Amino acid sequence: MAIKEIPACAGMTDRKMMNRIDEKFKELKAKKKKAFIAFITAGYPDLKTTKELVLSFARVGVDIIELGVPFSDPLADGPTIQTASYKALQKGITLEKILKLVAEIREISQIPIVLMSYYNPIFYYGEKRFVECAKKCGVDGVIIPDLPPEEAKNLIVTAKKNDFSTVFFLSPTTKKPRIKNIVNASSGFIYFVSVSGVTGVRNQFSSSIKGKIIAVKKITKKPICIGFGISTPQQVKTMSQISDGVIVGSAIVSEILKHEGRKDLVRKVSFFVSQLTSELS
C-alpha cells in the first residue's frame, strides 16, 4: 500500500469537543443506560454497504461502531470474521480506504467509531501518522489485538495528544499485577474478553465473569464492555447487567454473510441488530 496523503480528510478540521466515545458513555450514564457496540468488517461485502450499515445501525440503537480492518492473519478472530476479512481483502480494501470511508460517514453521522486493526497495517502506515490522520478523518479510537500496552507506549503518548482512545483487553485469565497496567493504558473503554480463545458465537459463559468485572471496577471508573461470543438477545441482556456495555461482532457478521448479494441485506441485518439492542438493561 503506497504511503500518501488522504484527500478525503484534507478538508476536515480537528474536533475540539470531548472524544465521541467519552461523550457517549457520559450520555448513557446520565440516562442510566448501557452501551451497545456493533462490530462489522470494513469493506465487506463492499464499502458502500459498510457505510449503509453504519448509518442504519445508528438508527436501531447501536451506540458505538467497531470497524474491523481486514488483515491476512487475524489471530484473535474465529472463522466467521476471518471469512469476511478475506473477502474484503480480495476486493482490495485497505486502511487508507477505510479512513476515507469514515470521513464520508462523518458528513452525515457523529456516531462514535473505533477501528479494530492488527498492528501490522498501523506499523506500516506509521503510528503517529495513523493516529493523526485517523483522528482527522473522524475515527475516535483504536483496538489492536496483537499489541499489548507494554509495547504500545509511543502509540499511547501520541493518542493522548490527539484525544484518541486506545482500547486494551482484559480477559478471565489476566493476572492481578497486570490488570492495573491495562486499565491505566486504556481510554474510551476497557474491552473485557468474555472467553479464552478467538471470536465466535458461544452458548455458555463462565460464572466467574461478574466477579472479575466487579474486581476491576474497584480500581477504575472507566467503562468496561464485554465482547467475544455474545450473539443472542438474552446474552446481551445478561452481560449488560454486569458491565457498562456489550460488544457483538461474529453474530452480526454472520448475518451479513447469510444475506450477501441480497438487496435487503442492510434491512435484514439491521433488524437482527435491533433485536439485540432492545434487550439492553
Residue 202 pLDDT level (bands cut at 50, 70, 90): very low
Q: Which CATH code for domain 16-277? A: 3.20.20.70
* Mean pLDDT (whole number) for 153-174: 95
Neighbouring C-beta atoms of residue 237, cutoff 10 Å:
16
Q: Is the pLDDT of residue 129 over 80?
A: yes
DSSP letter (8 states) at residue 40 = E
Mean pLDDT in residue range 22-45: 98
pLDDT in tens, 62-97: 999 999 999 988 776 778 999 999 999 999 999 999
Q: Report pLDDT for 1.
A: 36
pLDDT value of residue 97: 98
**What is the model's pLDDT at position 76?**
67
pLDDT higher than threshold 80 for residue 10: no
Secondary structure (3-state) at 139: coil
- Every domain of the chain and the residues it spans: 16-277
**Grid cell locating 276:** 439485540
Instruction: Examine the pLDDT at 7 and tell me if it is beyond 60.
Output: no
User: Picking from 191-205, 223-237, 267-281, which range would have the lowest pLDDT averaged per residue?
Assistant: 191-205
Question: Would the pLDDT of 253 be above 80?
Answer: yes
The mean pLDDT of 143-169, rounded to a whole number, is 97
What totals of helices (H) and strands (E) does the chain contain, helices first? 13, 9
pLDDT at 245 over 60: yes
> Cα separation of 56 and 119, whole Å?
29
Q: 36 forms bridges with which residues in the sheet?
A: 246
Following DSSP, what letter does each residue of 251-281 receive, concatenated? HHHHHHHHTTT-TTHHHHHHHHHHHHHTT--
With a pLDDT cut of 70, the percent of the chain lying above it is: 89
**Residues known to be catalytic:** 66, 77
